[in-house]
Amino acid sequence: MNKDASIFIAGHRGLVGSAIVRRLQADGYSNLLSRSRAELDLCNQAAVNEFFARHRPQYVFLAAARVGGIHANSTFPADFIRDNLQVQTNVIDSAYRHGTSKLLFLGSSCIYPKHAPQPMPEDCLLSGPLEPTNEWYAVAKIAGLKMCQAYRRQYGFNAISIMPTNLYGPGDNFDLQNSHVLPALIRKFHEAKVRGEQEVVVWGTGTPRREFLHVDDLADACLFLMQRYDGEQLINAGWGEDVSIRELAGIVQDVTGFQGELRLDTSKPDGTPRKLLDVTRLKAQGWAPRIPLREGIAMTYEWFLKHQADYRH
């Protein structure tokens, strides 16, 4: 991409979108297009079409999505499937119709079957039932990547798809009602320390295993693929290593300095038993992550401490 290319980052205020903006700016890209939800409702087809007709971005990073953890997915299934289908359909179609050179679609590792082989290769997509606690979001994301493939096959549109593992980092959602496990743990342990509590309760048995990638590493992977990859095949993005939820909680407890006990509430759901991505395809392209988990959690906790007033209710 030329440094002065017009680049639209859909979802620029979110965890992934803001990281992509930081990465592009650090690399000298200056012609960045972004719109808040108030300025451009991506669920509104006419508004999205008008935006693309007027600005005609040369490149698009489609990072806008309704996201959340087990609680949010279980409580708002209709919102998750409707909003994500609308956003990605509107953006992908308008990008093609108004001459965008290349689009990168951000998916999620939850698209893979609940009992997929571990680590999960890209080819296991649609080979079994999804995890019920997030199937609405997963179905929408599968539709998005398939739409990219379909537009490539029928129209020759250069749309690529990247499937990141669990993400974390600055700009994450720390709301205890609808956040993912890592930011939720950071906030729970921090607030327990501040209040002088004796224990922190973690949902589930602690045995499920999860892989985590710092969002700045993902942003680097996105730019890398936008510059170097033009294939139809989706590409996983992750570390290729995982930890148990119990181990993760231990790291967060240590980083936050909480001195009490950690208790597992086994009456609460675990979700998928394991989610580890096979990152062979991405490594073959020549990319690897650089931020280890403990270091990344410490960086994220530091960011949270500076912004925690935003999460007090």
Task: Say if residue 188 carries a ligand binding annotation.
Answer: yes
Q: Phi first, then psi: what are they for 214, rounded to 5°?
A: -65, 140
Task: Say if residue 22 carries a ligand binding annotation.
Answer: no
Task: Say if residue 106 carries a ligand binding annotation.
Answer: yes
- Which residues lie below 8 Å from residue 312, measured CB to CB, with a gap of 6+? none
Task: Say if residue 165 carries a ligand binding annotation.
Answer: yes
Task: Say if residue 11 carries a ligand binding annotation.
Answer: yes
The DSSP element (H or E) to which 210 belongs, if any, is strand 209-210
Task: Say if residue 93 carries a ligand binding annotation.
Answer: no
Task: Say if residue 62 carries a ligand binding annotation.
Answer: no
Using only C-alpha atoms, the chain has a radius of gyration, in whole angstroms, of: 19
- Which of 137, 168, 229, 301 is flagged as catalytic? 137
Task: Say if residue 103 carries a ligand binding annotation.
Answer: no
Q: Phi first, then psi: what are they for 118, rounded to 5°?
A: -115, 130
Task: Say if residue 12 carries a ligand binding annotation.
Answer: yes
- Which residues lie below 8 Å from residue 265, measured CB to CB, with a gap of 6+? 201, 202, 203, 204
* Closest alpha carbon to 88 in 111, 59, 62: 62
Residue 137 known to be catalytic:
yes
Task: Say if residue 109 carries a ligand binding annotation.
Answer: yes
Task: Say if residue 270 carries a ligand binding annotation.
Answer: yes
Q: Phi first, then psi: what are they for 12, rounded to 5°?
A: -70, -15
| Rounded Cα distance, 124 and 122, in Å | 6
Q: Terminal CA-to-CA distance of the chain, rounded, Å?
A: 43
Task: Say if residue 164 carries a ligand binding annotation.
Answer: yes
Task: Say if residue 279 carries a ligand binding annotation.
Answer: no
Query: What tokens were used for 296?
Result: 């990344």
Task: Say if residue 225 carries a ligand binding annotation.
Answer: no
Q: What SS3 string covers 25-62?
A: HHCCCCCEECCCCCCCCCCCHHHHHHHHHHHCCCEEEE
- Which residues lie below 8 Å from residue 267, measured CB to CB, with a gap of 6+? none
Q: Phi first, then psi: what are they for 136, rounded to 5°?
A: -65, -45
Question: What residues are designated binding site?
Answer: 11-17, 106-109, 141, 164-167, 180, 188, 203, 210, 270
Residues with catalytic function:
137
Residue numbers in the known binding site for substrate are 188, 203, 210, 270
Residues annotated as binding site for NADP(+)?
11-17, 106-109, 141, 164-167, 180
